[in-house]
Structure 1
Amino acid sequence: MTVSVVQVHSPVSAVVVGRLGHLSLNRPDSINAIDLEMMHAMTETLDAWATDDAVDAVLLDGVGDYGFCAGGDFREILARAAEGMTIGTVFFRDEYRLIAKLAEYPKPVVSIMHGMTMGGGISLAGHASVRVVTDQVRLGQPETGYGFVPDGGATWRLARTPGEIGTYLALNSIDLTAADAVALGFADVIVPSERIGELTAALGDAASPEETVRRFATEAGPSPVLARRDWIDACYSADTVRDILERLWAFANGDEVEGLRAPDSADPDAAANAADAADTLLRLSPTALVATLRSVRAARDGESLRDALERELRLARWFTTQPDLFTGVQALVAQNTDSLHQASVPDWKPADLDDVDLIDIVAAMEMPLRHSVFPRGLGIPEEGADAE
Structure 2
Amino acid sequence: MSDEPDIIFETRGRAGVVTLNRPKALNALNSNMVALMHPQLVAWANDPKVELVIVKAAGEKAFCAGGDIRQLHDWGKAGDPAIRSFYRDEYRLNAFIKRYPKPYVALVDGIVMGGGVGLSVHGSHRVAGEKLMFAMPETGIGFFPDVGGTYFLPRLPGRTGTWLGLTAARLGQADALWTGFATHAARSADFDAILEALCDKGDPDATLASFAQVLDGAKAPALQPVIDRCFSANTVEEILALLDAETGEHAEWAAKQAATMRQKSPTSLKIALRQMQEGAKVEFEACMGIEYRIVSRIIDGVDFYEGVRAVIIDKDNAPNWQPAGLDGVSTADVDAYFAPLPDELDLSGLDRA
Q: TM (normalized to structure 1)?
A: 0.87
1:380 aligned partner, one-letter code: L
| Structure 1 residue runs without a partner (length 5+) | 1-7, 255-261, 263-267, 337-342, 384-388
Structure-1 separation of matches of 2:83 and 2:300: 9
Q: Say whether residues 1:320 and 2:290 are aligned partners.
A: no
Structure-1 separation of matches of 2:219 and 2:168: 15
Query: Which residues of 2 match residues 263-342 of structure 1 at below 5 A?
Result: 268=249, 270-301=250-281, 303-334=282-313
Greater shift after overlay, 204-213 or 129-138? 204-213
Structure-1 separation of matches of 2:222 and 2:5: 41
Correspondence for 1:47 = 42
Give the C-alpha shift of residue 290 in structure 1. 0.6
Give the C-alpha shift of residue 9 in structure 1. 4.9
DSSP 3-state at the match of 1:91: helix
1:88 and 1:317 in contact (8 A); partners too: no
| Structure (1 or 2) with the greater helix fraction | 2
Query: Which residues of 2 match residues 251-266 of structure 1 at below 5 A?
Result: 251=246, 254=247, 262=248
Structure-1 separation of matches of 2:334 and 2:71: 24
Correspondence for 1:380 = 350
Q: Say whether residues 1:184 and 2:179 are aligned partners.
A: yes
Question: Of the candidates 120, 126, 145, which is equivalent to residue 125 of structure 1?
Answer: 120
Q: TM (normalized to structure 2)?
A: 0.95
RMSD: 1.6
Query: Which residues of 2 match residues 31-110 of structure 1 at below 5 A?
Result: 31-84=26-79, 86-110=81-105
2:42 aligned partner, one-letter code: D
1:132 and 1:191 in contact (8 A); partners too: yes
Structure-2 separation of matches of 1:85 and 1:219: 48
DSSP 3-state at the match of 1:22: strand
Measured against aligned partners, the alpha-carbon deviations of 1:233-253 in whole angstroms (never above 9, x if no partner) come to: 1111111111111111111xx
Question: Of the candidates 314, 323, 330, which is equivalent to residue 357 of structure 1?
Answer: 330
1:100 aligned partner, one-letter code: A
Aligned length: 351
Structure-2 separation of matches of 1:372 and 1:34: 20
1:15 and 1:22 in contact (8 A); partners too: yes
Give the C-alpha shift of residue 123 in structure 1. 1.4
The percentage of aligned residue pairs carrying the same residue is: 35
Structure-2 separation of matches of 1:359 and 1:85: 28
1:291 and 1:361 in contact (8 A); partners too: yes
1:195 aligned partner, one-letter code: D
Correspondence for 1:214 = 209
2:338 aligned partner, one-letter code: M
Measured against aligned partners, the alpha-carbon deviations of 1:190-232 in whole angstroms (never above 9, x if no partner) come to: 0101111111111111141221011101012132122211111
Structure-1 separation of matches of 2:262 and 2:77: 27
